[in-house]
Amino acid sequence: MEYLKQKRILIVDDELALLEMVTSFLTDNGFQYIQTAQTMKEAIRVADDFKPEFAILDVMLPDGSGFDLLEQLREKADYPVLFLTARGEDEDKLTGFDMGADDYLVKPFLPKELIFRITAILKRSYKGENPQVPLRHCKIDFERAVIVKKGEDLPLTAKEFALLSALYRQAGRIVTIDALCEAAWGENPFGYENSLMAHIRRIREKIEANPSQPVSLLTVKGLGYKLIVEEA
């Protein structure tokens, strides 16, 4: 279910090495949208901007507990949470579950087990979600990585999929050229502007009735692009 890997994931732990390790596990398994924090205060700030759809929390943080953090995060949004911590006492587990945590994994852990648990939680939490996104003249099927247009499936390339995913996450809002290049080409996206324009043209050929007069993927001159999603 590729569309589940488009979920925004927040990881909170005071150990930088663990943050880097878990981020690496997730990116190696296809998850693209990840933010990290090392304190409660930083996590709340990041969550306000990032708007996560899943969180991995440590219990012991420098400025409070993961339980307190979960309570504050849940005041603003309700999304699944996994506790990943060295504290494996039954009382801590019961506290976490009582507060609404979806799972509790004790360090040290196997990377495959972490990915398995995250995937299982996402499937349970977002099982009713429709991965088909309606545009004016077609639908994007993120699960199958195709454009459904006039009864025909038009496959997306990996770069087209990455660009449409980034645009969909900010649907109706401008996504900058730099942000799109980073989504498709990684952390050093400089010099890919011409390649981006070529990919945008190919995407428009698949999603628009008239690629020369786009109504779904619009150019915002000098800034970037935005995707216009229709109401289902």
pLDDT tens, residue by residue, 74-120: 888 889 999 987 766 667 677 767 777 888 888 888 999 999 999 99
Please enumerate in sequence order all residues whose Cβ is within 8 A of that of 193, keeping only pairs 6 or more positions apart, or say none: 177, 181
Please enumerate in sequence order all residues whose Cβ is within 8 A of that of 120, keeping only pairs 6 or more positions apart, or say none: 103
As given in the structure block, the two tokens for residue 112 are 């495959």
Name the helix (H) or strand (E) containing 73: helix 66-74
DSSP structure class, residue 178: H
pLDDT value of position 6: 80
132-227 classified as CATH 1.10.10.10: yes
Question: What is the average pLDDT score of the chain?
Answer: 89
Once rounded to an integer, what is the mean pLDDT over residues 19-36? Answer: 92
pLDDT value of position 57: 94
CA 27 remoteness from chain centre: 11
Domain 2-125 matches domain 132-227 at the CATH topology level? no
CA distance 183 to 7: 14
pLDDT value of position 108: 85
pLDDT value of position 147: 96
Quickly state the pLDDT bin for 127 (edges 50, 70, 90).
confident
Enumerate the domain spans of the chain: 2-125, 132-227
How far from 202 is each of 2, 125, 155, 165, CA to CA, in Å? 21, 34, 11, 15
Q: Under CATH, what is the fold of the domain 2-125?
A: Rossmann fold (3.40.50)
Please enumerate in sequence order all residues whose Cβ is within 8 A of that of 157, keeping only pairs 6 or more positions apart, or say none: 199, 202
Q: How many CA atoms lie within 13 A of 229 on its CB side?
A: 18
Angle between helices 193-207 and 177-185 (to 10 degrees): 90
